[in-house]
Amino acid sequence: MEFEEILKTIIKSRNEGDLSIRISLRILENYRDRLGNDYETLISELVFLSKVISELQQQAELLFEKGVKDSVTKLNSRAYLDDKCSSLTEEYSLAFIIGDIDKFGEYNKKYGHVQGDVALKIIAQQFKRAIEDRLVRDEVAFVARYGGEEFCAFIRNYERDLQSLQELVEGVRKDIETLEIPPVEKYEDSGFRHRTITIAAGIRRKKESLDDFMRDVINLLRKKVEEGRNKTYLRK
């Protein structure tokens, strides 16, 4: 096998995902005598390429992370949520949940934005975890930061009824109600430790547009949050 053919074999193997750089090095080892001085050169090039590929992969992962994850809560970002919606337009076995942290503006004002960010992240992750812990069968949750102190979730493959959804979001509400938020500094009172959340949810109707569905549930939250906080509301 000639020098050019050896390279083609390695490149083809890597493109097909069959071999790693390490295995490519083993291929070269088999042709060490035939390659002569070119052997060491190729080894150096492959090691260099391996490092470059590793660095590029890390950079790509970081860019992807920045594009799809919210920097504070580590939930999916609003931009990624908007993009995700395009793939849900034809899905009708779908539940939508949106929650708003109660009086979070007052919390931020009293304890500062650093403490506020800690609370946002802790509550957001509990919101996500509490939903995922209550999924059944083939259900899959996509959880995102909707904006400010609001988080939302789509549950795909949702075949249960409204009563089951009520129980699910009520469980989420209770989990957040009892969640303890750590302090970033000493405070004169303990009000920083807990926040409550108001949640609205609904199940998509047949032939209902995704925009109308989301708008209905979001408007329900906006309306009901002024009537009573730390509660759950279902779109009938």
In the chain, where the domains are located: 3-68, 78-234
Which residue bears the tokens 């609205």? Answer: 200
Segment 204-222 shows an average pLDDT of 97
pLDDT score for 62: 61
Q: Name the pLDDT band for 37 (thresholds 50, 70, 90).
A: low
- Whether residue 66 is predicted with pLDDT greater than 90 in this model: the reply is no
Task: State the pTM of this model.
Answer: 0.75
Highest mean pLDDT among 9-18, 53-62, 63-72, 146-155: 146-155
Task: Specify the higher pLDDT residue, 199 or 62.
Answer: 199
Amino acid at 66: K
pLDDT score for 41: 73
Rounded CA-CA distance 150/152 in Å is 7
Pairing state between β 232-234 and 197-203 = parallel
- Whether residue 59 is predicted with pLDDT greater than 90 in this model: the reply is no
60: Cβ contacts below 8 Å, ≥ 6 apart: none
86: Cβ contacts below 8 Å, ≥ 6 apart: none
Rounded CA-CA distance 5/111 in Å is 67
Rounded CA-CA distance 215/65 in Å is 28
pLDDT score for 166: 98
21: Cβ contacts below 8 Å, ≥ 6 apart: 14, 46, 47, 49, 50, 53
Q: Dihedral of the CA atoms 159, 162, 168, 171 (nearest 10)?
A: -170
User: CATH second-level architecture of 78-234?
Assistant: 2-Layer Sandwich (3.30)
Cα radius of gyration (the chain): 26
- Of 11-15, 58-62, 122-126, 185-189, minimum mean pLDDT range: 11-15
pLDDT score for 201: 99
